[in-house]
Structure 1
């Protein structure tokens, strides 16, 4: 996964093109959000002309190809600070993130209580139905990774 901080360089955006470029930028991130390349996008509330994106793309090269399509990428109109990371803990009610941590699943179930204080979670992916067990912090229980449970 990747965390991307984007900061626009106001002085590099051509005068009179601000609104046109902003609309192109919105169309760009909306398209990639709908395609599943971005899990989360939004502006910072404490910094003007800056925002964050969370991506589940498989590698940095794929992410760079997406970033290069942004209207602000050309001529250094924006700075992109990219950090790769692996989520260690995830809130158990966060279905949005789960579907990308373990692959691009079509449907992800909420967590259900399981004996011993663990939780069961399931997903329907292109390869079938999967299930896993986690402790109350969202960490895999030993020996309980994703298991195919159906076609």
Structure 2
């Protein structure tokens, strides 16, 4: 499992960001529907366009290929990728996470 922090870089105009966000939304919906992205959403504690994705792929190489398809990749956003191995998951996780 991977945790991906995506942050749009400074300097992109609001118009360009809005134009690309539609493509970005289609990209993450596609991989959510394919069950490669398990959970995702924007950070709510900042005004900077950024968010997080929890992903499951067969390999890091597969994840890299998926990320390359994002409309912000490679020059307009930073992608911090961390490999993660959950050890405990609460039965209330979904109920607590979705508000």
Does TM, normalized by the shorter one, top 0.5? yes
What count of residue pairs does the alignment treat as equivalent? 93
CA distance in 2, matches of 1:49, 1:92: 31
Q: Which has the higher strand share?
A: 1
Question: How far 1:19 sits from its partner (Å)?
Answer: 1.7
Indicate the structure whose relative CO is greater, using CA pairs within 8 Å and at least 6 residues apart: 2
Question: How far 1:50 sits from its partner (Å)?
Answer: 0.5
The answer for unaligned runs of 5 or more in structure 1 is 96-151
Q: Which has the higher helix share?
A: 2
Structure 1 stretches of at least 4 aligned residues deviating more than 6 Å after TM superposition = none
Partner of 1:57: 57
Deviates more, 1:17-26 or 1:86-95: 86-95
Q: How high is the TM-score relative to the length of structure 2?
A: 0.85
Partner of 1:3: 3
Q: Rg larger in 1 or in 2?
A: 1
Q: How high is the TM-score relative to the length of structure 1?
A: 0.57
Map 1:1-151 → 2, pairs under 5 A: 1-11=1-11, 13=12, 16-47=15-46, 48-74=48-74, 76-94=75-93
State the superposition RMSD in angstroms. 1.7
CA distance in 2, matches of 1:9, 1:82: 16
The answer for unaligned runs of 5 or more in structure 2 is 95-99
Distance 1:18 1:92, change over 3 A: closer
